[in-house]
Structure 1
Amino acid sequence: MTLDLTADPIALTRALVDIESVSGNERELADQVEAAVRALGRFEVLRDGQAVLARTNTGKPRRILLAGHLDTVPTADNVPSTVDGDRMYGCGTSDMKSGVALMLHAAAVLAEPAYDLTLVFYDCEEIESDRNGLGRISRTLRDWLDCDFGIVLEPTSGQIEGGCQGTLRAVVRTTGTRAHSARSWLGSNAIHAAAEILTRLSAYQPRVVPIEGCTYREGLNAVNITGGVAGNIVPDECVVTVNYRFAPDRDEKAAAAHVKEVFDGFDVEITDSAPSAPPGLSAPAAQAFVRAIGGTPVAKYGWTDVGRLATLGIPAVNFGPGDPNTAHKRDEYVEMPKITTAAEALVRFLAG
């Protein structure tokens, strides 16, 4: 098959969903996207692994970057797509092939946009961070990301979501002395010692932080606990894994310091973190985008690659037709009228 970029964005979404592209298996879809964008004849196109990059170079005073990942989580008997009423069901309908369809649709119908455009279709967003295609591009093809404003087409139900929370994971350890459980007084139970960790978490009061009109709610939660050796042994180690979602007024270093302060007196190891991103709404192009889309921007709960762009000094927001609450589910879906509305709004903004 060949992607028809001039098709209705709903039909284009369905065509994209029907090309299975679980993380690490994006080649077929990337081939189709590359061929379709090259055929437009207006873009400089570069293939990088399973990512496709395209840009215009017409000398416009401002450049807008549109970014979307091609991969999905593993399918769950939900490819090919199906339609029921106003809903299109299928893996990636929400996260985020409906957003990718908007990018392709805009590239096809806008012969003379008001901005120079950069399109980044990248791989491996749904798996470990060190394989993320946008991260790879930021390291090896940094100049391709230069722009005045970025839009990541993640699912937002058609509203603008500013910035994103940062995320940090840490393990908090307790130690004790192993002993036979029949002679427990000879040991020290590390699981019992973890009760203080859970007490601190239960009493923790997360911050609510307003930034540029967006309200970010933080959270610090235990997400896993492991300990124990056997049914007749007093354990000598217990590990509580915690996840901290932090507002954009804290960077990764400050977030790590905060978590270590909360668990002062315990062995704390930071195992993973990703940066937060400010709302990105003060740039002139961002303000024009808000006017074109309408509504009031809200905070993004969760981490997206807007955070990656923010570390490069690029203001960016999240905007896509999918419902984030259905992402990754067996019955993942997108409301088709929202594809139409979002596509019209994006084209209206880019047309100036």
Structure 2
Amino acid sequence: MTVELDLTADPIDLTAALVDIPSVSGDEDAIADAVERALKAQAPHLEVVRLGNNVLARTTLGRPSRVVFAGHLDTVPVNANLPSRRVDGVLHGLGTVDMKGGDAVMLHLAATVTEPTHDLTFLFYECEEIEAIRNGLGRVERELPEWMAGDLAVVCEPSNAIVEAGCQGTMRIEVRTTGTRAHTARAWMGVNAIHALGEALNVLARYETRTVDIDGCTYREGLQAVHISGGVSGNVVPDAALLRINFRFAPDRTVAQAEAHLREVFADFEVEVVDSAAGALPGLTAPAARDLMAAAGGDPVGKLGWTDVARFAALGIPAVNFGPGDPLLAHMQQENVPVEQITRCADVLRKLVTG
């Protein structure tokens, strides 16, 4: 069935329409088709390009600055939470928070703001909720990098309609221990690798997390064991064991500095870095970011977690998270968003792009 979106409709109604198009990661054809078709029909002032199931649109008005808006079209798998429903000022359904409310705000602005004070770019992308190699924003960066350029990037991920600045970096390491196998009846002849992990766990228990203030935003680091494994059978002293650890670090550390810190913390162990992603500094001193803060009012907060703002920060583009919905409800069956947050985000971003 072909779905027709009305981009001039109230962003609340547009959110509901987007939610009712199933778009689990890897199956975004229908929603990407609907978004592309609507932008081409209802926003003739925009250049529109399709790249896989990524839909890109932008103005070329020669403004002195450009604001880039980014939002992913995919969701986690359906969990008996479709179609959408509205109850007492709250919109329920898969994607209402993560992140079709933000997409609706972006689409509404794209179609209805024809004379912005900044040039505008809108990036609607696929496969954010799964492995990073399939992330559509990464594909845009690799194949059409000029579409990522701007003076400010606003990732419309849920933030309770409050500006969340920057984001934490993340790193996963593996600590391995080795020993000598032996029969448990003659355990003194072996060396137990699982027991040897005890000191690594003690290191974690003693570790004092760091809290950092950057541009008025607070980032609290975290170092946690997330997996432990080892063992051969019920009567063998194990000769190998593995501990996986996740480090969420403040954006004043680079990936290299985070790795050096962990190697110092676990200096007595074999450490392997298996995954890492840099964080993003707040970037609130950029002129366009100041304009956003003036439009939003209130104080920004640091983003506790990693988002695609880091992709823009790595390109030297200040980036923030700003969108409707409580991020704590993302991926939950009871995902829902107060409709007033959708309206607030649309109003704030309209003020940003129209002055």
What is the TM-score normalised by the length of structure 1?
0.99
Residue of structure 1 equivalent to 2:93: 90
Residue of structure 2 equivalent to 1:296: 299
**1:313 Cα offset (Å):** 0.7
Residue of structure 1 equivalent to 2:24: 22
Name the % identity: 57
Report which stretch shifted further, 82-91 or 16-25.
82-91
Alignment of 1:1-352 (within 5 A): 1-39=3-41, 40-352=43-355
Deviations 1:247-302 (A, max 9, x none): 11111111111111111121111000111000010100100110001110010000
Question: Could you tell me how far apart the structure 2 residues matched to 1:3 and 1:232 are?
Answer: 64
Q: Aligned-pair RMSD on alpha carbons? A: 0.8
Question: Could you tell me how far apart the structure 2 residues matched to 1:75 and 1:179 are?
Answer: 48
Deviations 1:76-133 (A, max 9, x none): 1111112221221111110100000010011122121111100000111111111111
Question: Could you tell me how far apart the structure 2 residues matched to 1:180 and 1:136 are?
Answer: 53
Deviations 1:143-181 (A, max 9, x none): 111111110001000000000000000110111111111
Provide the secondary structure at the position in 2 that maps to 1:96. helix
**1:244 Cα offset (Å):** 0.4
Question: Could you tell me how far apart the structure 1 residues matched to 2:229 and 2:352 are?
Answer: 50
Question: Could you tell me how far apart the structure 1 residues matched to 2:93 and 2:233 are?
Answer: 44
Question: Could you tell me how far apart the structure 1 residues matched to 2:83 and 2:186 are?
Answer: 60
Question: Could you tell me how far apart the structure 2 residues matched to 1:329 and 1:181 are?
Answer: 45
**1:323 Cα offset (Å):** 0.7
**1:185 Cα offset (Å):** 1.0
Structure 1 counterpart of 2:309, which letter?
A: V
Name structure 1 gaps, 5 residues minimum. Answer: none
Question: Could you tell me how far apart the structure 1 residues matched to 2:144 and 2:255 are?
Answer: 24
Structure 1 counterpart of 2:167, which letter?
A: C
Report which stretch shifted further, 160-169 or 256-265.
256-265
Question: Could you tell me how far apart the structure 2 residues matched to 1:284 and 1:194 are?
Answer: 50
Structure 2 counterpart of 1:254, which letter?
A: Q
Question: Could you tell me how far apart the structure 2 residues matched to 1:92 and 1:260 are?
Answer: 39
Question: Could you tell me how far apart the structure 2 residues matched to 1:329 and 1:53 are?
Answer: 29
**1:48 Cα offset (Å):** 0.6
Report which stretch shifted further, 292-301 or 136-145.
136-145
Provide the secondary structure at the position in 2 that maps to 1:194. helix
Structure 2 counterpart of 1:27, which letter?
A: D
Question: Could you tell me how far apart the structure 2 residues matched to 1:100 and 1:233 are?
Answer: 55
Question: Could you tell me how far apart the structure 2 residues matched to 1:199 and 1:33 are?
Answer: 52
Structure 1 counterpart of 2:199, which letter?
A: E
Question: Could you tell me how far apart the structure 2 residues matched to 1:157 and 1:116 are?
Answer: 26
Provide the secondary structure at the position in 1 that maps to 2:205. helix
Question: Could you tell me how far apart the structure 1 residues matched to 2:11 and 2:256 are?
Answer: 42
Question: Could you tell me how far apart the structure 1 residues matched to 2:183 and 2:331 are?
Answer: 45
What is the TM-score normalised by the length of structure 2?
0.98
**1:336 Cα offset (Å):** 0.9
